[in-house]
Amino acid sequence: MAKADISVIIPSKNNKKKTSEIIDKLSSENENIRMEFIVIDMNSTDGGMLEALNMIKKKSLLGYVIQSGGGTVSSALNTGIYKASGTYITFVYPSRLYKNYISEYYSLAVERDADFIFAAPETNEGNRILISDGVTGTDISVALIRSSITMDFTAVMFKRDFLINNDVLFYEDCRIGYAEAFIYNVLLRSPKVAFSKIKPERDYTNEAVKDAGSDVGNNCFERLEAMIRVFSAAREYQKDDKVLLEALEYEKLPSVIMKCVDKLLSEGFSASSIKKLMKNKGYDRYLDFSRYTTPALRNKILLWKTVPWFYRP
């Protein structure tokens, strides 16, 4: 039997008192829920982990601090999944904090025995998709790709057994786009979903300042690498879903590529150097379109392929 209703997994590095403050705030806001706090220490040197541990002890909470070393955030999150004892799991990022959503999500999870809980702010098309009978994970995937619904990938909740039984983990070598890829991989395994109509609200007051990482240059293609792996998984788990496969191949992948192109051009890379990089990596074979591709993206692809020196982000 699980010891906690929800395991809150918090990857943290040099956030000083912020992590302990987050634990204090979440535990106070959700006193009716048995919560477990798993703080993954990613080589902190500022004493913040001791503060977090002291807060857990001070409030007699379930939880502990785990040393994760200097690996990726993805690796830290996977460690949390394995160590969690809660029936449900949510991930809390100190640098991207949201105001109270956990209680509502948990109520939905229990009421509907859901595997995956998220927020989908109201839109006419999005509501039509989500309230339709028999909505599936692949329906939601296609809606995300086509922007019919939106989802914040860092304000979600999962049934832990679903993740473990379906072997869904973060790509540990991925530093950019790992949360997005994780969500798609969950949806590919046909979870029972529940959604809230609330719009998650960022808590800028209490969140930590994001460390300026290396989300520049060639690293932007890490998101593409992750989505290529998602596409491969889709062909394995949903091989008969032509709509999903078309959406991934002719909308999602080329869209990610063109965003990388835009980013690199804005950072001063030449069109010729970008094209050479894409060819060497084999990325250009994913830059294709079909009748399912949105007109705006199709036009961008055509311009980039035919007259790249005229292309502008």
DSSP helix/strand/coil, 201: coil
Note the pLDDT tens digit of each residue in 155-212.
999 999 999 999 999 999 988 899 999 999 999 999 999 988 888 889 898 888 765 4
Q: Which of 7, 191, 181 is nearest to 86 (CA)?
A: 7
Average pLDDT, the chain: 90
Judge whether 143 and 149 are in contact, CB under 8 Å: yes
Residue 132 pLDDT grade (very low, low, confident, very high; cuts 50, 70, 90):
low
Instruction: Specify the amino acid at residue 15.
Output: N
Residue 51 pLDDT grade (very low, low, confident, very high; cuts 50, 70, 90):
very high
What pLDDT score does 1 carry? 46
C-alpha of 22 from chain center = 20
DSSP 252-278: IHHHHHHHHHHHHHHTT--HHHHHHHH
Average pLDDT over residues 64-93: 92
**Is the confidence at residue 112, as pLDDT, over 80?**
yes
Q: Which of 23, 11, 63 is nearest to 170 (CA)?
A: 11
Per cent of the chain over pLDDT 90 is: 71
What pLDDT score does 298 carry? 97
Question: In the structure encoding, which two tokens stand for residue 249, read together?
Answer: 């191949």
Average pLDDT over residues 84-96: 94
When comparing pLDDT for 214 and 60, which is higher?
Answer: 60
Q: Of 35-39, 201-205, 288-292, which gets the smallest average pLDDT?
A: 201-205
**Is the confidence at residue 310, as pLDDT, over 80?**
yes
When comparing pLDDT for 303 and 152, which is higher?
Answer: 303
Question: In the structure encoding, which two tokens stand for residue 73, read together?
Answer: 């955030």
DSSP state letter for 147: T
**Is the confidence at residue 126, as pLDDT, over 80?**
no
Q: How many angstroms separate the CA atoms of 136 and 121, rounded?
A: 18
Q: How many angstroms separate the CA atoms of 39 and 48, rounded?
A: 11
Where would I find the beta strands (DSSP E) of 45-156?
Answer: 62-67, 86-91, 116-119
Question: First vs last Cα of the chain: how many Å apart?
Answer: 53
What pLDDT score does 217 carry? 46
What pLDDT score does 198 carry? 80
Average pLDDT over residues 26-41: 95
Query: Could you tell me which residues are beta bridge partners of residue 37?
Result: 8, 63
Judge whether 222 and 257 are in contact, CB under 8 Å: no
Query: How many C-beta atoms lie closer than 10 Å to residue 168's C-beta?
Result: 19
**Is the confidence at residue 286, as pLDDT, over 90?**
yes
Note the pLDDT tens digit of each residue in 217-269.
458 899 999 999 999 999 999 999 999 999 999 999 999 999 999 999 999 99
Average pLDDT over residues 270-295: 94
Q: Give the Å distances, CA to CA, from 180 to 128, 164, 268.
A: 23, 18, 27
**Is the confidence at residue 216, as pLDDT, over 50?**
no
